[in-house]
Amino acid sequence: MRAERRSGSLMAAPYAAFLLIFAAYPILFALVLVFLKWDLVTTPVFAGADNMRMLATDTRFWRAVANTFVFLSIHLPLQVASALMLALALNRPLAFRSFWRAAFFLPVVISGAVVAILWSNLYATDVGLINGVLVRIGLRPVPWLTDPSTAMPAIAAMVTWKNVGFYVIIYLAGLQYIPRSCKEAIEIEGASTWQRFRFLTLPLLLPQTILVVTLSTINGFQLFIEPYVMTGGGPLRRTYSIVLYLYTNAFAYQKMGYAATIGVALALIIGSVVFIQRRVIGNAEAL
Amino acid sequence: MPSVHFEHVSKRFGATTVVEDFNLDVAEGELLVLVGGSGSGKTTILRMLAGLEEVTEGRIRIDDRDVTALAPRDRDVAMVFQDYGLYPHMTVRENLSLGLRLRKVARTEIERRVTWAADMLQLEPLLDRKPKQLSGGQQQRVAMGRAMVREPLVFLFDEPLSNLDAGLRAQMRIEIGGLQRRLKTTTVYVTHDQVEAMTLGDRIVVLADGRIQQVGRPIDLYRAPVNRFVAGFVGTPPMNFVEGRITGENGGAQFNADGMRFDMLPGRMPTTMPSGPVTLGIRPEDMEVDPQSDGPRNGSVAGRVVLVERLGGTSHVHFDAGPNRMLASVTNERLPAVGDAIDVRINGERAHLFVDDQRVSSAS
């Protein structure tokens, strides 16, 4: 019994160590930093509630929060709709189905920086592929990343494209679990294709939808690499995300205490948004 | 109520033929049971009637309407599935009413029909529950209610009782039979359970390898099975088969097998005497066991008891007659013990003779 317990602890030890060093320690360190002023070079100084007071009145921070919400308001619906539609399409008997599934999953495993550089070229105003197509069909080119009103939507569309394969997998798994007899029963009962989707498929995919919304919310709040590479937060700070602002404070201004405060605030925001989402969607299920 | 007609229906999946030249007329208001083992094609036939499976050849009519190419929703049939196929996210009430809502039936009419079905199936207290909060029997009733409210032309049942335990299965069998007799809806019922088939069916279709073996009333299948397959399939415990030969004249023909001799009743023999190997078939309930053997007599076989199963009312006596293991179903008070030598009287009126697995003689 004791030997069994010892070998169990030993086997869990590597992961426990990993967790302590790379998750628990940074979290504790960040919580401590909230009350400190530190520039990475000199000795940290106790700052009391200074960082929190500064955060409350920092218009740049709140601007970044608003920007991130704009991003999510475009990204979330787009992500759910695109993943669901692709999953439905890929769930049908289709020529080269494995190829399509792999193709849509590929962007998930490509580095975010690479994708951002690739899409910068696609979005380029004068030489980009997208505008090339628009011009060819007789439309005017759009300054995707340099116009304040289109920059964030453009980034949202790109992030949606990059992640869709992952969420398609989640939806495909959910589709496997819909009993065949249910699908046949509703077909015999007289449902059209749309009605089958509306009354059977969509409600039965609710657990997957909750998961997709939750994961893409958490992921979306951490928006960083795309604006960092593509826009630097511009134009007119419209793509300045929370994490980009955190990064700037930490490694450009070397305000480690303040950056940690932003990080903790971000964690709290994510936590409360996800909590509200689960409440809302959970209630929808009960209806 | 409409009738259903299968005309030269075949179904092939690639090179595999699942149903071969299937012809059948289901009468108005009839409860017809398709019975057979797995792979017999019974479920495929039902699914072709529902429109869930395409017909490779032939056509299916409901009354005069050719439904062969119609989508399931346009056939006006209702189906009860083996796993019920209830919508897990909907309450019982919603499960019952969805089909009517999809067909744009008026709200008051939906209300009336749901109340009617719930009343008939004792579902009122369950109307606001979800399927997973119901027992197997209750889910089964909801599935039947969902078929009933549609008031379809034809009911289709696909092994609806297989997921229930034995007691509940017997009870639901009685309920389904009673319900069908009251509603008088033409019904096609698929099962692998011959007891279910015998007790429920107005007529039974026995299938094997995608072909009809025999169609008839349950008692006809029991009394006069056309071949050895049907004879062995219908009846519990199954019929005993003994391989042997016929000797002697038509007037005094005798069945001879290893360790067994049996005088065939005159008039129960085919006109041409079978010269090759034959099979004698005797149902366990058509034998009488005399616990004391006093030597071979006419119409009886001598055997040695190897097992006695006491079921209460009846008992199964397993015995060896020569190399043949046989089973007699008896109601005697005095049962033999294992190892006893016994005399088993065979009811000659009820003995069946098979040549090349086709029945050539027997009982009326």
Phi, psi at residue B186, to the nearest 5°? -55, 130
Mean pLDDT lowest among A80-84, B124-128, B189-193, B287-291: B287-291
Q: Domain holding B133: CATH number?
A: 3.40.50.300
Q: What are the structural domains, with CATH classification, of chain A?
A: 40-110+151-286 (1.10.3720.10)
Chain B nearest-CA residue for A179: B85
Chain A closest CA to B87's CA: distance in Å? 6
The complex scores an ipTM of 0.85
Cα(B178)–Cα(B199) distance, rounded to whole angstroms? Answer: 11
Question: Of B233, B248, B275, which residue sits at a domain end?
Answer: B233
Distances in Å between the alpha carbon of A19 and those of A9, A12, A14, A16, A22? 14, 11, 9, 5, 5
Chain B nearest-CA residue for A182: B85
The overall average pLDDT reported for chain A is 92
> Does B142 contact chain A (CB < 8 Å)?
no
B151 and B31, same structural domain? Answer: yes
Mean pLDDT lowest among A194-208, A212-226, B115-129, B252-266: B252-266
Q: Tokens for B191?
A: 């099962």
Residue A129's identity, in one-letter code, is L
Question: Of B210, B233, B256, which residue sits at a domain end?
Answer: B233
Residue B265 has pLDDT above 70, yes or no: yes
Residue B1 has pLDDT above 80, yes or no: no
As a whole number, mean pLDDT of residues B116-137 equals: 93
Task: Write the CB contacts of A171 (distance below 8 Å, at least 6 apart in sequence).
Answer: A83, A84, A86, A87, A88, A205, A208, A212
Q: What is the pLDDT of residues A66-76, one digit of tens each?
A: 999 999 999 99
B270 and B141, same structural domain? Answer: no
Judge: B50–A189 Cβ closer than 8 Å, yes or no: no
Is the Cβ–Cβ distance between B175 and B143 less than 8 Å? no
The overall average pLDDT reported for chain B is 89
Q: Which of B73, B153, B188 to mutate to test the interface with A (most CBs of A within 10 A)?
A: B73
Residue A14 confidence (pLDDT)? 93
Name the nearest CA neighbour of B216 among B225, B200, B228: B225
B162 and B122, same structural domain? Answer: yes
Judge: A187–B73 Cβ closer than 8 Å, yes or no: yes
- Displacement of CA A111 from its chain's centroid (Å): 14
Q: Which residues of A touch B81 (CB under 8 A)?
A: 181, 184-185
B195 and B329, same structural domain? Answer: no
B98 and B184, same structural domain? Answer: yes
Tally of structural domains, chain B: 2
Residue B26 confidence (pLDDT)? 96
Before A148, cis peptide (omega within 30)?
no
Q: Tokens for B171?
A: 């009870």
Query: Where does the pLDDT of residue B260 fall: very low under 50, low under 70, confident under 90, or very high at 90 and above?
Result: confident
B96 and B162, same structural domain? Answer: yes
> Does B13 contact chain A (CB < 8 Å)?
no
Is the Cβ–Cβ distance between A132 and A50 less than 8 Å? no
B141 and B215, same structural domain? Answer: yes
Name the nearest CA neighbour of A186 among B151, B150, B129, B111: B150
Helix (H, G, I), strand (E, B) or coil at A16: helix
As a whole number, mean pLDDT of residues B299-325 equals: 89
Q: Domain holding B245: CATH number?
A: 2.40.50.100
Q: Which residues of B touch A191 (CB under 8 A)?
A: 73, 102
Judge: A184–B85 Cβ closer than 8 Å, yes or no: yes
Q: Chain A: which residues have CB within 8 Å of chain B? A: 179, 181-182, 184-192, 195, 199-200, 203-204, 206, 285
As a whole number, mean pLDDT of residues B323-335 equals: 87
The total of other beta-carbon atoms located within 10 Å of residue A273's CB is 17
Query: Among all chains, which residue has been given the structure tokens 């027992």?
Result: B135
Q: Tokens for B364?
A: 């009326």
Task: Write the CB contacts of A138 (distance below 8 Å, at least 6 apart in sequence).
Answer: none
Range of the domain at B37: 4-233
Judge: A187–B87 Cβ closer than 8 Å, yes or no: no
Judge: B72–A182 Cβ closer than 8 Å, yes or no: no
Residue B298 has pLDDT above 70, yes or no: no
> pLDDT 10s digit of each residue in chain A, 287 long?
788 889 999 999 999 999 999 999 999 999 999 999 998 888 888 988 899 999 999 999 999 999 999 999 999 999 999 999 999 999 988 888 889 888 999 999 999 999 999 999 999 888 889 999 999 998 888 899 999 999 999 999 999 999 999 999 999 999 999 999 999 999 999 999 999 999 999 999 999 999 999 999 999 999 999 999 999 887 888 899 999 999 999 999 999 999 999 999 999 999 999 999 888 887 665 54
Edge-to-edge strand list for the sheet holding B186-191: B77-80, B154-158, B186-191, B31-36, B203-208, B211-216
B278 and B199, same structural domain? Answer: no
> Does B121 contact chain A (CB < 8 Å)?
no
Judge: B79–A188 Cβ closer than 8 Å, yes or no: yes
- Which of B51, B71, B87 is the closest to A200 by Cβ? B87
B158 and B18, same structural domain? Answer: yes
Query: Where does the pLDDT of residue B249 fall: very low under 50, low under 70, confident under 90, or very high at 90 and above?
Result: low
B328 and B190, same structural domain? Answer: no
The sign one gets for the Cα dihedral B190, B192, B193, B194 is positive
Distances in Å between the alpha carbon of A149 and those of A67, A83, A119, A222? 11, 25, 18, 21
B278 and B185, same structural domain? Answer: no
> Does B120 contact chain A (CB < 8 Å)?
no
From first CA to last CA, the distance across chain B in angstroms is 34
B136 and B277, same structural domain? Answer: no
As a whole number, mean pLDDT of residues B30-40 equals: 93
Q: Tokens for B130?
A: 């979800």
Residue B297 has pLDDT above 80, yes or no: no
Residue A187's identity, in one-letter code, is E
Strands B240-247 and B277-282 come out as antiparallel
Distances in Å between the alpha carbon of A92 and those of A58, A99, A104, A199, B218? 51, 14, 15, 19, 44
Q: Which residues of B touch A203 (CB under 8 A)?
A: 89
Judge: A184–B72 Cβ closer than 8 Å, yes or no: yes
Q: What is the pLDDT of residues B332-363, one digit of tens each?
A: 778 888 988 888 888 888 888 898 888 886 54
Residue B363 confidence (pLDDT)? 46
Question: Of B186, B202, B233, which residue sits at a domain end?
Answer: B233
Chain B nearest-CA residue for A194: B102
**Which 8-state DSSP code applies to residue B362?**
-
